[in-house]
Structure 1
Amino acid sequence: MSLAIGLEISVLGPLVVRCDGRPVNLGSVLQRKVLAALLLSPGQATEADRLREIVWPQRPPNAAMASLHSYLSNLRRLLEPHRPPRSRDRLLRREHSGYVLAVDPEAIDAHRFERLCREGRRLLRQGEHERAALVLQEGLDLWRGAPYPEVSEDAFGAQTSARLEELRLLALESRWEAELARNQDTSLIAADLTSLSMEFPTRERLRCLQIQALYRAGRQAEALKAYHQTRTLLADEYGVDPGPDLQQLFGSILRGAGPEARVAHRG
């Protein structure tokens, strides 16, 4: 757990650190990469050689380790400005197995986002749609851009970023599912979902929500057109048919089911 009072770390976008509400100047690009690398595994030791690989993925300079130690020393002073001289490092410390950034997970926006995503989806499964929508939106509001851009060249950094991006899409889908269940203005929801579906045209759950919103807004022809577009795209790109949820929704529309008909939440 972090002993730095009032420390806030944002990695859902370019790295930002605030202490007592004030932004911390993290220094050079390479120094920021060192901190971002440590934040890939907060609370866990990262070996110096591994940090060097992340910060200098190609042809590290001869003085790479000396520069790395200098960056770490600078970061200690920046992150714990009130630490007494010669006192033990508590936040960014060196252990036998490597360097550890001992921060409270709640100080990191990515951790809070994942917690809110889990909580929102739990509320959705329980049928608490209004609370689910609010909690999921709170998590989505933490995003400012692509996660961990400072370490995107590293394989683990790219993997961590991709995982968070997938969770963001999952949160978006769950949030729109909650909004539809609340019987909000489906015309506005359909407009937003159509835009999002154009960005991710083969994501079937988004298409299900878009088609459902169009149908419930009284736009049956547009709903059917969206289904056929998705079916054609899936066949052309991957040689597969739409999944059972999309097919079930399509069948419901053809049978003239009431506009409240919807595909059940999965997962």
Structure 2
Amino acid sequence: MITSGPANRSLTYGQRSADKRRSARGDGVSERGELRSGRGRGHGGCGAGAGLRFGLLGAPVLYDATGEPRLVRSAKGRALLAALLLEPDRVVSLDALKDALWGDFPPASARASLQNHVTRLRRLLDDPERLHAEPPGYRLRVAEGELDVCVFEHQVARARAAHAGRDWARVVDHASDALALWRGRPLSGLPEPLTDHFVVPRLEEARLLALEWRYDAELALGTDLAGLTPELAALVAEHPLREAFHRQLMLALHRTGRRAEALATHRELRRRLVEELGVEPGAAVREAHQEVLRGMGEAGAAGRNGGAGTAGASEVGGRPRGVEASEVGGPLACFEESLRIHGEYEDWHGESQARLGLVRALRGLTRPEGAPREYATREYATLLDRAAHPGDAPAAAGLPRHGTDSKAAEGRRVLLPARAD
């Protein structure tokens, strides 16, 4: 059995967790990472049920009749197999094969040595006639569904289509089937000309996309969200500039009640992007961040359903009797987070974002049900005091302009907009 190297520990852990989440349906992948029903299903349209015979998603291997991968022990034999499988069922010239085995400096006996390696490889194949000489070189017969790269790419394409159609259950199935084939970095353990082949980064990016789509689906399905967080945390550490994994980790943390950690994840991503690349997080990350902040606001306002007291015209502490402080806890929390995120950056963008947080917080100070249309609020003055340039923000929010002295503003009545909902 070929095991994954250290670089793939997060994938191995994530795949096993995904297998457990799918086990109730009776399909998916086995503990050793094989497709359970690969032969019977034929991997969809990628083959006629022939089953895997060759693998490049990791060190080059041959699959035996039971589906178990067997490593080709000779380094030159692995290089020969990889060179032939990179052109499946097509003729590979002798010169190309020599380059794969010896690079730019083939020995004088390269032709005879190549023939010996071909003979040894034939002995390992289930059918020696698969590999035959055909001018100007050799052809390895590979049927559809017999090469793991073909099956992987087909399952990734099906996962992409399901993701576009928001068919989350199918996304999980196809993405997990694709990831189950991954044993390590493609073409690993080979000479440099092959390990640098252009197909390697393409396959690695396809694997990351499959992971992204699967986590999108599991977040949408709400499947074992607590189990997703360690997997996503490992991927964030491995890919610190990949926004999708940060966004998914933020959402998984937020939806399992770990909002402070979700906001810390956003702060670290934004810091890294600004410092290393000079860019802000993308729209998807910003949308996830707003979901976390809205959750903070809802948590801050949760006390309103349990608030005691009788509503009346008289005021207590700058607000109507019966109106709890938690009425404004959400907007205040949102504004404080905006200042934490943007206030530390001494530039025009950070300042404008902090102002925007103030405007949103002010708009959040809506008139509670049962309160008079006008009432004084200390929180309004507090928001103004805490803004870096408070004079402009109230006007931008469509609210009256006041000074920044909280004691002076405390007794003033502020007309607050009624709730839209």
The counterpart of 2:85, out of the listed 25, 39, 59, is 39
In structure 2, the partner of 1:79 is: 125
Shift of 1:97: 4.1
In structure 2, the partner of 1:61 is: 107
What are the ranges of 5 or more consecutive residues in structure 1 without an aligned counterpart? 84-88, 260-267
Shift of 1:258: 7.6
In structure 2, the partner of 1:52 is: 98
User: Is the contact made by 1:6 and 1:19 (CA closer than 8 Å) also made in structure 2?
Assistant: no
User: Is the contact made by 2:51 and 2:145 (CA closer than 8 Å) also made in structure 1?
Assistant: no
Shift of 1:36: 1.1
Call closer, same or farther: CA 1:103–1:178 in 2, change over 3 Å.
Answer: same
Query: What SS does the corresponding residue of 1:46 show, helix, strand or coil?
Result: strand
What are the ranges of 5 or more consecutive residues in structure 2 without an aligned counterpart? 1-45, 300-421
Query: What SS does the corresponding residue of 1:154 show, helix, strand or coil?
Result: helix
TM-score when normalising by structure 1: 0.83
In structure 1, the partner of 2:214 is: 175
Query: What SS does the corresponding residue of 2:264 show, helix, strand or coil?
Result: helix
Larger displacement relative to structure 2 (96-105 or 201-210): 96-105
Report 1 or 2 for greater relative contact order, CA contacts < 8 Å, sequence distance ≥ 6: 1
Query: What SS does the corresponding residue of 1:149 show, helix, strand or coil?
Result: coil
Tell whether 2:147 aligns with 1:108: yes
Call closer, same or farther: CA 1:46–1:201 in 2, change over 3 Å.
Answer: same
In terms of Rg, which structure is larger? 2
The counterpart of 1:28, out of the listed 56, 60, 74, is 74
Tell whether 2:275 aligns with 1:236: yes
Query: What SS does the corresponding residue of 1:143 show, helix, strand or coil?
Result: coil
Q: State how far apart, in whole Å, the 2-side matches of 1:44 and 1:56 are.
A: 21
Query: What SS does the corresponding residue of 2:170 show, helix, strand or coil?
Result: helix
AA aligned to 1:176 is Y
Query: What SS does the corresponding residue of 1:151 show, helix, strand or coil?
Result: coil
Larger displacement relative to structure 2 (168-177 or 38-47): 38-47
In structure 2, the partner of 1:128 is: 167
Call closer, same or farther: CA 1:23–1:248 in 2, change over 3 Å.
Answer: closer
User: Is the contact made by 2:56 and 2:149 (CA closer than 8 Å) also made in structure 1?
Assistant: yes
Query: What SS does the corresponding residue of 1:250 show, helix, strand or coil?
Result: helix
User: Is the contact made by 2:58 and 2:185 (CA closer than 8 Å) also made in structure 1?
Assistant: yes
Q: State how far apart, in whole Å, the 1-side matches of 2:71 and 2:273 are.
A: 47
TM-score when normalising by structure 2: 0.54
Q: Percent identity?
A: 35
The counterpart of 1:13, out of the listed 55, 58, 65, is 58
In structure 2, the partner of 1:185 is: 224
User: Is the contact made by 2:75 and 2:190 (CA closer than 8 Å) also made in structure 1?
Assistant: no
Shift of 1:115: 1.0
The Cα RMSD (Å) is 2.6
User: Is the contact made by 2:212 and 2:244 (CA closer than 8 Å) also made in structure 1?
Assistant: yes
AA aligned to 1:160 is V
AA aligned to 1:64 is A
- 1:107-162 CA deviation, whole Å, 9 max, x = no partner? 11121111111112222222221232122112211112111114351167532222
> How many equivalent residue pairs?
250
Call closer, same or farther: CA 1:50–1:210 in 2, change over 3 Å.
Answer: same
Q: State how far apart, in whole Å, the 2-side matches of 1:129 and 1:48 are.
A: 47
In structure 1, the partner of 2:233 is: 194
